[in-house]
Structure 1
């Protein structure tokens, strides 16, 4: 009944829409219930809905689509990628850097960890949306910086995050 592209857009922005509904409920309670405890709870619900909207907008901006090669899984702070040509596993605690490489087709993340080959994950791989929460948990990462570079057209690889002790590694083609 709903066209596939409309269904995909609604799915992408579903957290924002839910946040808007929560804010509307909070405003109703805060403005039209006549005061009392429900009035103050309504304002708290508005704040929670606003936070949900902000998080939803960030997740929607992170989403780059589906249909890319491979499958991503994030389980207990371990990122796994299984692709048609390569794959691997990287623990978030062991990561030394996160690089966005827009020069690939499709653009991809490069996860580096000492003693391991870099793990290249396409932004459009199935399950790549799970990476937002995984990357957001990295200490000191700036999510707005990451989202801005995902939307931009940088000609080459961009270091999104690096551990405090990591040196500037040479970025190689292969």
Structure 2
């Protein structure tokens, strides 16, 4: 059996561990074989390096704590269901993303044009899906977002702002 803390840590850094394994296999093929397997080993080292890079960013984004609420990202919408509050935001309608502290807990603040602001604790179940949802936003730099998330501060930090905020959408319904 494995301790729950160790299991959570391994799960948090799973892409990094997979990248290390792929790179190690590629290195083994490069130093041990000739011909086609050597070239495949070089490809595996490159793929493993890419997985390491992406996995390191995702691992820093994830939290290994259990916070309040559940988050779902489905078809371009972020839905948060918390114990006392919640909300739904279309990714295309988000105008600002900030990190704020509410009730002594770090939260994502998703501001929408003409709609209610949604606060999502960074430790809520399912917040891993926010990484991919936020990556689709134009102009958002993932590394900057991860750096701001890892900063230990109680003040509000603007993570992203839509550059075309003044645009108007014409909905049919």
Q: CA RMSD in A?
A: 1.4
Gaps of 5+ in 1: 168-174
- In the aligned structure 1, how far is the partner of 2:116 from the partner of 2:74? 20
SS in 1 for 2:105: coil
Which is richer in strand?
A: 2
Q: TM-score w.r.t. structure 2 length?
A: 0.90
TM superposition shift of 1:17: 0.6
- Displaced runs of 4+ in structure 1, greater than 3 A? none
Name the residue aligned to 1:11. Answer: 11
Q: 2:12–2:63: 8 Å Cα contact kept in structure 1?
A: no
Name the residue aligned to 2:159. Answer: 160
Gaps of 5+ in 2: 167-173
- In the aligned structure 1, how far is the partner of 2:101 from the partner of 2:83? 20
TM superposition shift of 1:4: 1.2
Name the residue aligned to 2:38. Answer: 39
1:1-174 alignment runs, 5 A limit: 1-34=1-34, 36-102=35-101, 104-166=103-165
Name the residue aligned to 2:171. Answer: none
TM superposition shift of 1:155: 3.4
Q: TM-score w.r.t. structure 1 length?
A: 0.90
- In the aligned structure 2, how far is the partner of 1:87 from the partner of 1:79? 10
TM superposition shift of 1:85: 1.1
- In the aligned structure 2, how far is the partner of 1:103 from the partner of 1:119? 12
Q: Which moved more, 1:133-142 or 1:115-124?
A: 133-142
Q: Which moved more, 1:107-116 or 1:141-150?
A: 141-150
- In the aligned structure 2, how far is the partner of 1:27 from the partner of 1:106? 43
Q: 1:96–1:114: 8 Å Cα contact kept in structure 2?
A: yes
TM superposition shift of 1:103: 5.1
